């Protein structure tokens, strides 16, 4: 907590005069209570494990390393703390002493090429081993021996007694103590002025009164406690929190990294604000939401006395941005910068207290107040050079994610590294990789022109643009350019004349029978003047004869126009007026549904004896691929129905694609479920008949 300066000095003086004794039980800090609750809700949650690996290259003194590690444990009460439960809440209990050894795993007997992969595999396993918050210990160390002069040290600490800053303190103190002990010297570290339990008491005492209320007032006005950022995910959100996670990273070029810093200088903003504003653009474009909240951590060490302590000091701020009205990136950057300054000025409210006061809608599968985090790590963990031994520290990916998505930006020698930590229950790696590419595109665009509107900032990189615009559209496939719809079915008649083509209410037609009847009806239609571009109305109920009529119309060279008997009289009138069919194929009992018209009527139920006198062979080909095959009317939801005219060629192309993609076979049966006045019916009728 940050207190008014006079209060800080007096409070610290009191704490330094009488620090909390190690054997007592004291209240946990707000952050520790949150970590304890998260552990209870998800036991063994690896997202709460802080881990670092230290690569040791050179002549190692294992005894000095163990002494150094133990000395750090002795020095920091937090590392000897456990959390017994009392009346449903955790208490801190500090053990007077804790002997903690470094476990050793010797991999030197493995073939050299296998040692490093095996060590990293074990690291990934070991970092996920659960902690027992009540019994402890809440840290552990493992040294993997790769060879006489190569070792890998893994240190894992539960987040309830540590944070990112603390991991740096721990590793640096181990390095400094190792140097002293390996050289035969005592510890050179100064005594700590206070311990974490003192800070926890200070925090609780400071979380009351007018100063706290003033800060809470800011957050009440600033935040919408019930807002949830819904990023489109590859899978639905699980009913409970799933913290399984993974990481994907990209490295920005040195030129782009410098350009982003230069942009901040020109605009009078920080690199933090530039990156967060660009991240907000990405989130807005993905979610479609203009009101965004993103969490970000702050060290929470407002006094120099706290800088050398190990413990959970980190606090989380919630930064809200408004992208409504399509601001320019420059305008958004200014807004984000002001929002960050306001949040930093009111950072003394512990996040846990904020949740308690604002009372957001609580869901077991959604983190409160924000679901996405942004972290800027200004400096990598560095260790002092040691005589005869080099130490290189790296954080460990625990395979877990505390939030839906976290963007971590860290500076490296070759440029900014952007790491996306994401929940695998929600996102695939390919999705996150694409998202990071889109973020890079936004960053590249804003350094060129910060005045661009947010909506105009490009997302796709060149490779993705090429894939979407060119590769995905490289779908040209040759097909028989002169084929007709009925010609496909005639070819199937030749292949399987005696196979069943149609089944309806216990009746069947083979391909031979279907073809013969369609040929007879086609000849009858030709005799009545049907030919290319001539429209034939079909007023028929669902039946075998309906399919015969469809096929016969096409064989005659005409185009069928479906008139659904269930349609209202007004719609049928409009369709007749618009289509002007030359011939109407109907069933006798349906004719009364039509208004007066001048089409020739052929009733296929009462006049079939006359039709059956026609030849059973196919008439000479009359239709072409470019010729009209059918006319289907729109729904008329926006006014009068309109007839959509469709030629043979495009439909043939569609059906051949469907067959190539989904492949019906002789044993497959397709249910014709839609009215024949609906366009889906075209493939439901003709696709199965051509296979």
Q: Is the pLDDT of residue 645 over 90?
A: yes
Q: Do the Cβ atoms of 625 and 649 come closer than 8 Å?
A: yes
Q: Which CATH class is domain 11-206?
A: alpha beta
pLDDT of residue 574: 92
pLDDT of residue 10: 52
Quick one: which H or E segment has residue 264?
Answer: helix 254-267
Cα–Cα distance for residue pair 571/562, rounded to 1 Å: 12
- Alpha carbon dihedral 160, 163, 168, 174, in 10-degree steps, equals 0
Q: pLDDT per residue over 568-616, tens digit each?
A: 999 999 999 999 999 999 999 999 999 889 999 999 999 999 999 999 9
Q: Name the band, by pLDDT with cuts 50, 70 and 90, for residue 212.
A: confident
pLDDT of residue 381: 73
Q: Name the band, by pLDDT with cuts 50, 70 and 90, for residue 477.
A: confident
* Least confident stretch, 277-286, 348-357, 439-448: 348-357
Q: Which CATH class is domain 219-384+397-475?
A: alpha beta
Q: Name the band, by pLDDT with cuts 50, 70 and 90, for residue 17.
A: very low
Q: Phi first, then psi: what are they for 198, rounded to 5°? A: -65, -40
636: left (phi over 0), alpha (psi -120 to 50) or beta: left
Strand partners, 645: 631
Q: Do the Cβ atoms of 123 and 143 come closer than 8 Å?
A: no
Q: pLDDT per residue over 240-294, tens digit each?
A: 889 999 999 999 999 999 999 999 999 999 999 999 999 999 999 999 999 999 9
Q: Domain extents for the chain?
A: 11-206, 219-384+397-475, 485-689
- Alpha-carbon distances of 184 from 47, 63, 174, 212, rounded to whole Å: 39, 12, 15, 50
Cα–Cα distance for residue pair 33/160, rounded to 1 Å: 8
For 647, residues 6+ apart whose C-beta sits below 8 A from its C-beta are: 625, 626, 627, 628, 629
pLDDT of residue 14: 53
The 8 Å CB, 24+ separation contacts for 389-392 are 389/56, 389/57, 389/58, 389/59, 389/60, 389/178, 389/182, 390/55, 390/56, 390/57, 390/58, 391/54, 391/55, 391/56, 391/171, 391/175, 392/54, 392/55, 392/57
Mean pLDDT of 546-560: 98
Q: Name the band, by pLDDT with cuts 50, 70 and 90, for residue 683.
A: very high
Q: Which residue has the tokens 């959390």?
A: 83
Q: pLDDT per residue over 102-132, tens digit each?
A: 999 999 999 999 999 999 999 999 999 999 9
577, with CB counted inside 10 A (0-12, 13-18, 19+), is: exposed
Of 173, 176, 165, 167, the residue nearest 192 (C-alpha) = 173
Q: Is the pLDDT of residue 40 over 80?
A: yes
* Least confident stretch, 338-342, 476-480, 623-627: 476-480
Q: Phi first, then psi: what are they for 50, rounded to 5°? A: -95, 125
Mean pLDDT of 670-681: 92
Cα–Cα distance for residue pair 308/169, rounded to 1 Å: 6
Q: pLDDT per residue over 482-533, tens digit each?
A: 999 999 999 999 999 999 999 999 999 999 999 999 999 999 999 999 999 9
Taking the model in full, what pTM does it have? 0.74
- 431: tokens are 């999705």
Mean pLDDT of 409-429: 95
Cα–Cα distance for residue pair 660/477, rounded to 1 Å: 11
Q: Do the Cβ atoms of 332 and 269 come closer than 8 Å?
A: no
Q: Is the pLDDT of residue 20 over 70?
A: no
Mean pLDDT of 177-188: 94
Q: What is the mean pLDDT of the chain?
A: 93
Of 62, 69, 56, the residue nearest 140 (C-alpha) = 69
pLDDT of residue 430: 97
Q: Is the pLDDT of residue 319 over 90?
A: yes
Q: Half-sphere exposure of 160 toward its Cβ, with a 13 Å CA cutoff?
A: 31
Cα–Cα distance for residue pair 113/92, rounded to 1 Å: 45
CATH code 2.40.50.140 for 485-689:
no
């Amino acid at each position: 907590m940050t207190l008014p300066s006079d209060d800080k000095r007096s409070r610290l003086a009191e704490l330094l005069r009488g620090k909390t004794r190690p054997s007592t039980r004291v209240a946990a800090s707000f952050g520790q209570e949150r970590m304890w609750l998260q552990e209870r809700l998800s036991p063994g949650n690896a997202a709460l494990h802080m881990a670092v690996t230290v690569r040791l290259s050179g002549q190692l003194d294992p005894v000095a390393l163990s002494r150094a590690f133990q000395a750090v444990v002795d020095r920091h009460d937090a590392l000897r703390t456990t959390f017994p439960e009392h009346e449903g809440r955790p208490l801190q209990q500090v053990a007077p002493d804790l002997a903690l050894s470094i476990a050793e795993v010797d991999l030197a007997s493995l073939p050299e090429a296998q040692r490093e992969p095996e060590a990293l595999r074990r690291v990934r396993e070991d970092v996920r081993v659960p902690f027992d918050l009540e019994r402890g210990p809440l840290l552990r160390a493992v040294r993997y021996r790769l060879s006489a002069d190569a070792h890998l040290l893994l240190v894992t600490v539960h987040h309830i007694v540590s944070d990112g800053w603390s991991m740096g303190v721990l590793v640096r103190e181990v390095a400094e103590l190792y140097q002293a002990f390996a050289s035969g010297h005592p510890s050179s570290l100064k005594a700590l002025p206070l311990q974490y339990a003192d800070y926890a008491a200070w925090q609780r005492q400071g979380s009351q009164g007018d100063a706290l209320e003033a800060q809470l007032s800011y957050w009440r006005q600033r935040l919408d406690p019930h807002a949830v950022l819904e990023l489109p995910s590859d899978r639905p959100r699980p009913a409970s929190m799933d913290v399984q996670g993974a990481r994907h990273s990209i490295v920005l070029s040195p030129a782009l990294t410098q350009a982003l810093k230069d942009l901040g200088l020109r605009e009078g903003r920080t690199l933090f604000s530039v990156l967060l504003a660009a991240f907000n653009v990405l989130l807005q474009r993905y979610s479609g939401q203009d009101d965004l909240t993103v969490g970000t951590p702050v060290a929470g060490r407002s006094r120099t006395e706290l800088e050398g302590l190990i413990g959970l000091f980190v606090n989380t701020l919630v930064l809200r941005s408004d992208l409504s009205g399509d601001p320019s990136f420059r305008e958004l950057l200014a807004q984000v910068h002001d929002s960050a300054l306001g949040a930093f000025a009111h950072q003394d409210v512990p996040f846990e207290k904020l949740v308690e006061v604002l009372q957001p809608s609580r869901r077991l599968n959604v983190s409160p107040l924000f679901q996405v985090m942004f972290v800027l790590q200004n400096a990598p963990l560095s260790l002092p050079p040691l005589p005869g031994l080099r130490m290189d520290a790296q954080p460990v990916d625990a395979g877990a994610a505390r939030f839906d998505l976290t963007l971590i930006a860290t500076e490296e020698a070759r440029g900014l590294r952007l790491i996306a930590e994401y929940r695998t229950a929600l996102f695939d790696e390919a999705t996150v990789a694409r998202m990071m590419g889109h973020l890079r595109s936004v960053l590249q665009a804003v350094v060129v022109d910060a005045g661009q509107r947010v909506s105009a900032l490009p997302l796709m990189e060149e490779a993705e643009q090429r894939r979407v615009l060119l590769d995905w559209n490289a779908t040209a496939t040759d097909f028989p350019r002169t084929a007709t719809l009925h010609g496909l079915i005639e070819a199937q008649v030749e292949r399987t004349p005696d196979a069943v083509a149609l089944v309806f209410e216990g009746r069947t037609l083979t391909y031979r029978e279907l073809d013969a009847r369609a040929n007879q009806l086609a000849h009858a239609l030709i005799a009545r003047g049907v030919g290319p571009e001539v429209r034939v109305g079909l007023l028929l109920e669902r039946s075998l004869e309906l399919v015969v009529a469809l096929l016969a119309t096409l064989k005659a060279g005409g185009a069928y126009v479906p008139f659904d008997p269930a349609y209202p009289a007004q719609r049928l009138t409009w369709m007749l007026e618009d289509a002007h069919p030359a011939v109407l194929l109907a069933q006798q009992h349906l004719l009364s549904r039509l208004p007066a018209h001048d089409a020739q009527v052929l009733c296929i139920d009462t006049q079939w004896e006359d039709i059956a006198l026609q030849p059973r062979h196919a008439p000479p080909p009359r239709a072409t691929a470019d010729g009209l095959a059918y006319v289907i009317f729109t729904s008329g939801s926006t006014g009068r129905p309109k007839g959509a005219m469709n030629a043979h060629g495009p439909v043939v192309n569609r059906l051949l694609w469907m067959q190539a993609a989904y492949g019906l076979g002789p044993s497959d049966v397709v249910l014709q479920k839609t009215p024949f006045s609906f366009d889906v019916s075209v493939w439901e009728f003709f696709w199965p008949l051509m296979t």
